[in-house]
Amino acid sequence: MTSISDLKTDGIGGPLQVRILQKWKHDVRQYETWYLAVDRFADAIQILGQRTNQSYIESVLHVSQCYTISDYSCPQLDNYQKFLENEFYIDVGLKSIIQPIPDTTTIPKTWFRFVSKSHLIDLGERPPYYPDYSGVLSKIRDCTKAGGESFALLILTDESGSELAINLWKECITNPDKFNRDSLHPPPATTVVAVTNIKPSIYNGVLRYGSSHATHIYVNPDIPETTTLINLFIGPSRPTPPLSGTPSTLYDMKTKNRSDLLDKTFIVQASIKEFHYQNSWFQAICPICKDPIFKRGESWYCSAHGLIEKPTYMYKLTVTITDATDTISALISETSCQKLLKSSLENFISNNPHINRNTLPPIITNHKEQTKKMSIQMLRASTPDNIRFIIIDIEDPTTRAQTFVPATPAQPQMTRMRPSDTTPEPSTPVQHVARALTYDPTESTPRKNAKRTAKQQTS
């Protein structure tokens, strides 16, 4: 039996046993139907049924099922087709022999190629493949483009505490096979989300991330990374990333123009001189439309959505901060406020039902006049004549961020799964690492690298 690692561009491959894991189409090339397939060695490849063959292939290949496939070609991928590290795909059609086989534990039921946020950034705007990313859901927002097209914004926090914003475009969120909005529960729930095949782009000179044609969203997938993330986030202390940015002073920041401040983070040693708010230091908002909501009897009421079972709470704080060089006013982010409060606002209010929203609690005001290490950015809505700042993170100068070992290393060791492996599954999850074929123009043959994580499941 042939394995995926035996294949090569324009080569002749023998019978191949695989499991189909995903299916997608290009929004322009509607005559192409793509599949992600994995074999018993946790190698993966793209399969294509196109044009004359498309409807037939769609009728015989089904997600999660296992097949033996024979009589196929291995053409080279073009730039619009390539999502994995392989340089070629399997082309199947009417003349191919596609035989369903019984479900088997020897072929993985999941397959991911996770990278860390730093690795994602290192891959740049034109990566050689579209990687996967996993984290705990911090926020989800339903958004609309200027032209009226809907999209969703996910903010995920990984095992190091780093946050990544991912835009899920219309073709993703309108496909129930790729995206289920109802299954995405933001805090206080701990929901692990895996996003496959993230596509980078440059917007206003800044690297952004969004869904691609192949992107699928998996909620709490049955893989070791999910257990690791849940244990981290429900433990006594959530992971927090180290502050990163350019060391600076308040005077230096105030004297820069807007273009020098845009999309940059500055680290300053400063103290909070005063907290500012109007009437209330927090507000209750509708979890659907984000507009302020108000008490009506014992219930919360939104003018647009009626009775609300549970509001979302947001801070309404600005601060005056000072260092040895100058003084500025700044908004303070939810993350920073949460660190000062040493709790989420929802939990704090739940534990203090008679809290006075017109008076800051001592647990916050006690931070006045204490030197803090602050991560500060300019608000994007700032104009050249009205530059405003926001503190996006804050910590004590002596605080050291915890270091966590990634659940999926960037370059893990290779592990093969064989049919003879019938040993009962141990109490600690075993991580299987897949290989993918990459092509170096300086070499005459593809080389094999450990690239992606697969978990073998019992059917």
Percentage of the chain exceeding pLDDT 90: 57
Clarify whether residues 253 and 361 are in a common domain. yes
Looking at per-residue confidence, does 430 or 301 come out higher?
301
Residue 287 lies in a domain: no
Strands 447-455 and 432-438: antiparallel
Predicted pLDDT at 418: 35
Rg of the chain on CA atoms, in Å: 25
Q: Which helix (H) or strand (E) holds 158?
A: none
Clarify whether residues 267 and 387 are in a common domain. yes
Asked if residue 457 lies in contact with residue 66, where contact means CB atoms within 8 angstroms, the answer is no
Q: How confident is the model at residue 444 (pLDDT cuts 50, 70, 90)?
A: very low
Clarify whether residues 269 and 383 are in a common domain. yes
Clarify whether residues 335 and 273 are in a common domain. yes
Residue 133 lies in a domain: yes
429-458 average pLDDT score:
40
Q: How confident is the model at residue 19 (pLDDT cuts 50, 70, 90)?
A: very high
Clarify whether residues 100 and 118 are in a common domain. no
pLDDT value at 453 more than 60: no
Positive or negative, the CA dihedral 111, 23, 13, 71 is positive
Predicted pLDDT at 68: 98
pLDDT value at 428 more than 70: no
Residue 292 lies in a domain: no
Other beta carbons within 10 angstroms of residue 282's beta carbon come to 19
Pick from 89, 119, 70, 104: nearest CA to 8? 89
pTM of the predicted model, to two decimals? Answer: 0.62
pLDDT value at 236 more than 90: no
Residue 272 lies in a domain: yes
pLDDT per residue as tens digits for the range 140-150: 999 999 889 99
Looking at per-residue confidence, does 379 or 406 come out higher?
379
Q: How confident is the model at residue 278 (pLDDT cuts 50, 70, 90)?
A: confident
Clarify whether residues 95 and 197 are in a common domain. no
b/e string for 374-390 if b means 16 or more Cβ within 10 A?
bbbbbeeebeeeebebb
Clarify whether residues 96 and 121 are in a common domain. no
Q: Name the range with the highest mean pLDDT among 84-98, 136-150, 198-212.
A: 84-98
CATH number for 426: 2.40.50.140
- Token pair listed for 128: 């050689």
Clarify whether residues 386 and 440 are in a common domain. no
Looking at per-residue confidence, does 450 or 190 come out higher?
190
pLDDT value at 73 more than 60: yes
pLDDT value at 414 more than 80: no
Rounded distance between C-alpha atoms, residue 423 and residue 420, angstroms: 9
Residue 102 lies in a domain: yes
Predicted pLDDT at 422: 36
**Residue 451 dihedral angles phi and psi, to the nearest 5°:** -130, -40
The 8-class DSSP code of residue 333 comes to -
Percentage of the chain exceeding pLDDT 70: 84
Predicted pLDDT at 235: 63
Predicted pLDDT at 171: 95
Q: Is the peptide bond before 188 cis (omega within 30 degrees of 0)?
A: yes
Predicted pLDDT at 417: 36
Q: Name the range with the highest mean pLDDT among 332-341, 412-421, 450-459.
A: 332-341
Contacts of 389 (CB under 8 A, 6+ apart): 253, 328, 329, 330, 331, 376, 377, 378, 379
Clarify whether residues 10 and 135 are in a common domain. no
Rounded distance between C-alpha atoms, residue 29 and residue 167, angstroms: 22
pLDDT per residue as tens digits for the range 116-170: 988 898 899 999 999 999 999 999 999 999 889 999 999 999 988 888 999 999 9
pLDDT per residue as tens digits for the range 254-271: 999 988 888 788 999 999
**Residue-range definition of the domain harbouring residue 163:** 111-233
Looking at the structure of the chain, the number of domains it has is: 3
Looking at per-residue confidence, does 78 or 455 come out higher?
78
pLDDT value at 3 more than 80: yes
pLDDT per residue as tens digits for the range 103-117: 999 999 999 999 998
Q: How confident is the model at residue 240 (pLDDT cuts 50, 70, 90)?
A: low
Clarify whether residues 77 and 204 are in a common domain. no
Clarify whether residues 250 and 391 are in a common domain. yes
Point out the domain boundary residue: 365, 395, 425.
Answer: 395
Predicted pLDDT at 290: 80
Cα pseudo-dihedral 103, 106, 110, 116, rounded to 10? 180
pLDDT value at 199 more than 80: yes
Pick from 210, 170, 213: nearest CA to 29? 213
The rounded mean pLDDT for the chain is: 84
Residue 374 lies in a domain: yes
Predicted pLDDT at 121: 87
pLDDT value at 297 more than 60: yes
Predicted pLDDT at 135: 95
Asked if residue 153 lies in contact with residue 192, where contact means CB atoms within 8 angstroms, the answer is no
Clarify whether residues 82 and 134 are in a common domain. no
316, HSE (Cβ side, Cα atoms, 13 Å): 14
77: exposed, middle or buried (C-beta count within 10 Å: 0-12, 13-18, 19+)?
middle
Residue 288 lies in a domain: no
Q: How confident is the model at residue 247 (pLDDT cuts 50, 70, 90)?
A: confident
323-335 average pLDDT score:
92
> To the nearest 5 percent, what fractions of the chain are helix, strand and coil?
15, 35, 50
**First CA to last CA distance, the chain:** 22
Residue 306 lies in a domain: no
Pick from 69, 6, 84: nearest CA to 41? 6
Strands 246-247 and 266-276: parallel
DSSP letters, 185-202, are: --TTS--EEEE-SEEEEE
